[in-house]
Amino acid sequence: MYPTETVRFVHITFAGGGKGGSVGALASEAKASVGVFAGAVGTAGVAGTAGAVGTAGVAAAATGSQTGSNQYVETNHGWVSYHSAPRLNSPVLGKLHLGDKAPLVQKADKWWYEIRWHNRNVYITTDSKYTHVATIGGTKGSAATGGTAATAATNSTQQYVEANHGWVSYHSQAKLNSPVLGRLQLGDKAPLIKKVNKWWYEIRWHGRNVYITTDSKYTHVVTSGTGQGTQTGTTGTSKTVSVPKSIQQPVPATPPQTTGSARIQLPPPGVQWDPSITPKAGRNASIQAKTNAVLSVAQSKLGTKYIWGHNEDRGQYGFDCSNYTEYVYHHALGYKFTTSSRGQYRYVGKTVPQSAMKPGDLLIFEKGKHVGIYAGNNRMIQEGGGLGKCGYLGLGANSYWAKHMTAVRRMY
């Protein structure tokens, strides 16, 4: 899966804030491919235009140059191994999974990126079949191509339908009683053919045209490309997203502490302190004070609309499930950690038995397809989960959510 010859182009994604949330309320994700070495710009892989650069992005730096802290490397699908040195025969130290965002240190050479991951510098392939560089921010930029900047291309877009969480069934016809042909899973991007009516999208999936609900509780539309798209008369716009400092740059480790104010070592696994915030409960507050703080912040957002990719810490309205949980622990306890639900499943908190679940614990469902916070009395408080807003869901023994719970994570 690693390159044996020169790779000429790398896929750079410029991530816009605020995908979906309601039918026709679009945000654009400018995606383009740019040449980054060999002194030439070739045909872009996404928009089909030569050397296109997204209007809201910063393009990749030339080989060997240092990059800004707002760039990170992602996998295109599945996982990709990373190495201890920029050589194929060097030890494999681990895997970068789909949804992980590894801060880009530099492009070591034409075959390898140097990234910062788990508090060390490691190396991962530049092969655009497997990885791409994403930029979060609103600064305009150009591609470094042997000293020649690529010019921006516009008005080339593609719209996709995505599930908000879990999965959504699709049908053979635009009728609820028509046969169900399969499920669009979280993370799938189905090309949008058209909006058939107020209830159904027609999408192209697995080689055929099928139909899926337009209900914004379950699906949303995203726009990819360098232009702007419209759906039901609403124009998509590109928004600036600030990357949390804990993701942008490594933060010096804080010595773990175990006191009467915590049941586990602090900070928990996968969590860093944010010194820029004054939380409702300080590090040395009692366990009960921390629980009260977590539930108080969580309840303060009851009724807030589900909008995929949104986090009010970034000046946006609304949340998705994992941005909501991170926001709650951030303001309640001063924690910073990944806003990816799969990342929270993999890295965040100390796993405890479900039988030991306490109010304030982070709850993981279906290996990161959904997350919430235990509120006590067999209920969790969460964002989305079929409600389309922040609210409570039951965790009784025979409930859907109890049956699909993957892990309970202690956070203090």
Read off the CATH number of the domain in which 288 is found. 3.90.1720.10
Q: Is residue 246 part of a domain?
A: no
At residue 120, the 3 state secondary structure works out as: strand
Strand-pair partners of 30: 14
Same domain, yes or no: 222 and 296? no
Q: Is residue 51 part of a domain?
A: yes
| Total count of domains within the chain | 3
Which is higher by pLDDT, 155 or 321?
A: 321
CA dihedral (335, 339, 343, 346) positive or negative = positive
Same domain, yes or no: 102 and 27? yes
Q: Is residue 250 part of a domain?
A: no
Which is higher by pLDDT, 7 or 282?
A: 282
Hey, what are 192's tokens?
Answer: 């949008």
Same domain, yes or no: 315 and 173? no
Q: Is the pLDDT of residue 44 over 60?
A: no
Q: How far is CA 65 from the centre of its chain?
A: 27
Query: What CATH number does residue 181 fall under?
Result: 2.30.30.40
Q: Is the pLDDT of residue 259 over 70?
A: no
Closest CA to 26 of 229, 314, 249: 229
Q: Is the pLDDT of residue 56 over 60?
A: no
Query: Which pLDDT belongs to residue 95?
Result: 87
Compute CA distances 245 → 112, 249, 342, 405, whole Å.
25, 6, 19, 30
DSSP 252: P
Report the distance separating Cα 78 and Cα 406, nearest Å.
20
Query: Which pLDDT belongs to residue 351?
Result: 95
Q: Is residue 243 part of a domain?
A: no
Within 8 A by CB and 6+ apart from 280, the residues are 293, 296, 297, 331, 332, 333
Within 8 A by CB and 6+ apart from 263, the residues are 287, 410, 412
Q: Is the pLDDT of residue 258 over 60?
A: no
Same domain, yes or no: 334 and 277? yes
Same domain, yes or no: 192 and 275? no
CA dihedral (128, 133, 139, 144) positive or negative = negative
Within 8 A by CB and 6+ apart from 121, the residues are 105, 114, 115
Q: How many CB atoms lie within 10 A of CB 92?
A: 11
Query: Which pLDDT belongs to residue 261?
Result: 66
Closest CA to 37 of 57, 54, 59, 15: 59
In tens, the pLDDT along 355-405 reads 999 999 999 999 999 999 999 999 999 999 989 999 999 999 889 999 999
Same domain, yes or no: 125 and 197? no
Compute CA distances 320 → 102, 361, 383, 388, 412, whole Å.
21, 18, 6, 9, 23
Q: Is residue 218 part of a domain?
A: yes
Report the distance separating Cα 161 and Cα 183, nearest Å.
12
Same domain, yes or no: 110 and 164? no
Closest CA to 301 of 285, 283, 284, 316: 316
Report the distance separating Cα 49 and Cα 71, nearest Å.
23
In tens, the pLDDT along 298-333 reads 999 999 999 988 999 888 899 999 999 999 999 999
Q: Is the pLDDT of residue 197 over 90?
A: yes
Q: Is the pLDDT of residue 128 over 50?
A: yes
In tens, the pLDDT along 177-189 reads 888 888 887 778 8
- Final residue before a domain boundary, out of 145, 178, 202: 145
Within 8 A by CB and 6+ apart from 400, the residues are none
Percent residues over pLDDT 70 in the chain: 68
Same domain, yes or no: 131 and 164? no
Within 8 A by CB and 6+ apart from 257, the residues are 265, 266, 283
Closest CA to 299 of 268, 271, 331: 331
Judging by beta carbons within 10 Å of its beta carbon (0-12, 13-18, 19+), is residue 129 exposed, middle or buried?
Answer: middle
Q: Is the pLDDT of residue 69 over 60?
A: no
**Confidence bin at 139 (pLDDT 50/70/90):** very low
Same domain, yes or no: 43 and 138? yes
Closest CA to 237 of 247, 227, 246, 245: 227
Instruction: Please count the residues of the chain.
Output: 412
- Final residue before a domain boundary, out of 231, 248, 283: 231
Q: Is residue 242 part of a domain?
A: no
Q: Please, what is the average pLDDT of the chain?
A: 73
Report the distance separating Cα 299 and Cα 311, nearest Å.
16
**Confidence bin at 140 (pLDDT 50/70/90):** very low
Q: Average the pLDDT over 154-175 and give the result.
A: 78
Q: Is residue 402 part of a domain?
A: yes
Which residue range forms the structural domain that includes residue 199? 157-231
Same domain, yes or no: 185 and 140? no
Same domain, yes or no: 139 and 181? no
Same domain, yes or no: 401 and 328? yes
Judging by beta carbons within 10 Å of its beta carbon (0-12, 13-18, 19+), is residue 89 exposed, middle or buried?
Answer: exposed
Report the distance separating Cα 341 and Cα 361, nearest Å.
15
Report the distance separating Cα 223 and Cα 323, nearest Å.
21
Hey, what are 93's tokens?
Answer: 């130290």
Query: Which pLDDT belongs to residue 157?
Result: 64
Closest CA to 32 of 17, 43, 40: 43
Q: Is residue 1 part of a domain?
A: no
pTM: 0.43
Query: Which pLDDT belongs to residue 155?
Result: 41
- Final residue before a domain boundary, out of 101, 121, 145: 145
